[in-house]
Amino acid sequence: MSQRQLARRLSERGHGVEIISASPDSRIVRPLYLREVDLSTRLRSSVLRPALLALQRPMGRSIQRVDTPDYPTWFSAVPENGYRSLRARKRPDVVVANSIGRVTWRRLRAQLRATNIPSVLYLREVAGLGHLSVTKAPPDLLLANADSIAQAARGLGFECSVVPSVVELDRSETDSSREAVVLVNPIPLLGGDRLWPLARARPDIPFIVFESGSMSETERDAVRAELPDHPNVMLEPFSSNPSDIYRRAKILLVPHRVDNRPRVVLEAQSNGIPVLASAFPGLEESVGAGGVLVENDADPSGWIDALSRMWDDSNLYQSLVDAARLQAARPEADCEAIVERFEELLGTIL
């Protein structure tokens, strides 16, 4: 969503922008492609390798344009190959990559180098640092949406500028009834398993869990299997309207097991909803004083104690509400300033 909102704002400033992404429902082409990639990697010194690579290039080149919210998206089963089809329609001045796997980045960057098109790597997750340290494929311009990620990139020896994610807040605005703890995308990587000890320890607190559009059926089934043992937990389907997420929220729970800077923090805080989150650097930056942080290696009692203090202490809660609104209103979160900074930095490599 942040990527599409950035694209729309750039388009409004006169730039031609296209987005290409992996098809969310590719269950044949993408898995087959990745198996062939694995095989060609294993046979790196074999005479069969060129033939295997030639077989991989046409896979997933078909692209389909979808009217996704905020800005349309081209979908391809294999984005690095779908990019070839998109490039054939119009040569880009620059290509920005974010939230992609190492194979995709390595092969996309090779195409860009071969055609003298500048590349930008926009780091939105700590896992993206592997493009620098493992894949060893630096871009022409390196950006990060959090200062902690930028510092880590600099520690690896790369210049990196900070450009926070665009988070438009108009659609997430609501007058919350403040009746429940809300968690979005309850997968293990994002600490969804931490919900269940909290729900057991505080049966008097309602918990609302929102599915993510990227959740697999296996992940959904794992959450549904827990519901009979936790009657105070309600599962809600994915909603493209952010205000649906916050209209009953008293506290936003962000118990992630990975360092990132999710947009839900800013959306919640703009509504004066405090955040209970893992104490990763990216989350520390985004939560600020508008919430409570718990060490990632804390046992369930640490999370239970933090939640109970926020829920039960009305004076503490009100102070967190006020701090959350101030945190959301900080200049760093201004969308137009972010877009101008992004535009300015791209201009340095064009």
Mean pLDDT of 263-281: 97
- Among 103, 132, 163, the domain-final residue is 163
| Residue 190 maps to a domain | yes
pLDDT at 265: 97
| Residue 207 maps to a domain | yes
CA dihedral 97, 147, 167, 314 (to 10 degrees): 150
Angle at 253 between CA 24 and CA 123, to 5 degrees: 50
The least confident of 32-36, 221-225, 230-234 is 32-36
pLDDT in tens, 188-202: 999 999 999 999 999
Please check whether residues 314 and 204 belong to one and the same domain. yes
Q: How far apart are CA 14 and CA 72, in angstroms?
A: 16
Please check whether residues 58 and 148 belong to one and the same domain. no
Q: How far apart are CA 275 and CA 268, in angstroms?
A: 8
Element (H, E) at 109: helix 102-114
Using a pLDDT cut of 90, give the percent of the chain over it.
80
pLDDT at 216: 80
Please check whether residues 255 and 193 belong to one and the same domain. yes
Cα torsion 213, 25, 7, 150: sign:
positive
Mean pLDDT of 84-91: 94
pLDDT in tens, 239-252: 888 899 999 999 99
Report the CATH number that the domain containing residue 299 is assigned in CATH.
3.40.50.2000
| Residue 169 maps to a domain | no
| Residue 45 maps to a domain | yes
pLDDT in tens, 60-75: 899 999 999 899 999 9
Please check whether residues 63 and 25 belong to one and the same domain. yes
pLDDT at 20: 97
Domain coverage including residue 62? 19-78
pLDDT at 208: 97
Number of domains making up the chain = 3
pLDDT in tens, 126-180: 889 999 998 888 999 999 999 999 999 999 999 999 999 999 999 899 999 999 9
Residue 114's φ and ψ, nearest 5 degrees, are -70, -25
- Among 163, 190, 208, the domain-final residue is 163
Please check whether residues 240 and 297 belong to one and the same domain. yes
User: What value does the mean pLDDT of the chain take?
Assistant: 94
pLDDT at 136: 82
| Residue 270 maps to a domain | yes
Tell me if 346 sits within 8 A of 120, measured CB to CB: yes
Q: How far apart are CA 60 and CA 152, in angstroms?
A: 34
